[in-house]
Structure 1
Amino acid sequence: MISNYQPERDQSPGTRSQEEASRAGLPMASGTLTAVRLLKAIAQETRLRIIELLQQEDSLGLPAGVIAASLDIPPNLISFHLKELAAAGILQKKTSGRNIIYSIDSEIMESFFVEMMKYRVLPRS
């Protein structure tokens, strides 16, 4: 028996999933790739806490220092998590004076939840 095993290579986020789908002959919809990217970004407790805090602020947004202080997280760690959430498209950034204000991109989150509804399990009648 010939094995198709190939060791994992260091790749950017999302690339491996697209390659695997391609090898299997399956198309990967852009909505699915976006969902995978968002799931990777929020699969961490601190990032979920950041999202929860920003949701409570009625989409006005907060500067990184306020987020860090509110969640009792060191500034260097909050910067890392905010960068990851922004790179995934979950957070929007705008400059206000010397501050960067972070807020949730409600359109991205809404499309994410719509995409996730495809995977819901309905009760059997």
Structure 2
Amino acid sequence: MDETQALDALGALSQETRLRIVRLLVTAGPEGMAAGVIGEAMGATSSRLSFHLTHLEHAGLVQSRRDGRSIRYSAAYEALSGLIAFLMRDCCQGHPDVCTPAVAALSACACPTPEPAA
């Protein structure tokens, strides 16, 4: 991720509803959620939700796909990871204790670990 992409992503996340949508989609996992379900969770009208989802999609933080008659949105995990990496890339400067809280927070993620191949 470069500085321009980071600025676009951070700009998109600087609005409360969009930040809440991204967090909701991160929680939903790779399958994502139908737009209507996101709208219900956010308490947003379809036009307002569409505005926010379009903004997030243009910033590269969410992706959409057609699923029958609805559109499903999911978090763009690679872009979100890239944003975190961009922000933390030079954090330590020879002092790993500076980054320890951030690394610990990410390590505490309740993400399932893949099963080893049999």
Query: Normalised by the size of structure 1, how large is the TM-score?
Result: 0.69
Structure 1 SS opposite 2:66? strand
Please report how far the alpha carbon of residue 119 of structure 1 lies from its aligned counterpart in structure 2 after TM superposition: 6.2
Structure 2 SS opposite 1:92? strand
Q: Is structure 2 residue 28 aligned with structure 1 residue 39?
A: no
**Where do residues 1-125 of structure 1 align in structure 2 (5 Å cutoff)?**
31-118=2-89, 120=91, 122=98
- Unaligned 5+ segments in structure 2 are 93-97, 100-118
Please report how far the alpha carbon of residue 95 of structure 1 lies from its aligned counterpart in structure 2 after TM superposition: 0.5
- Unaligned 5+ segments in structure 1 are 1-29
Please report how far the alpha carbon of residue 65 of structure 1 lies from its aligned counterpart in structure 2 after TM superposition: 0.8
Q: Which has the larger radius of gyration?
A: 1
Please report how far the alpha carbon of residue 118 of structure 1 lies from its aligned counterpart in structure 2 after TM superposition: 3.6
Structure 1 runs of 4+ with >3 Å offset: 118-123
CA RMSD between the two structures? 1.7
Larger RCO, structures 1/2 (Cα 8 Å, 6+ apart): 2
Please report how far the alpha carbon of residue 81 of structure 1 lies from its aligned counterpart in structure 2 after TM superposition: 0.1
What is the identity percentage for the equivalent residue pairs of Structure 1 and Structure 2? 34
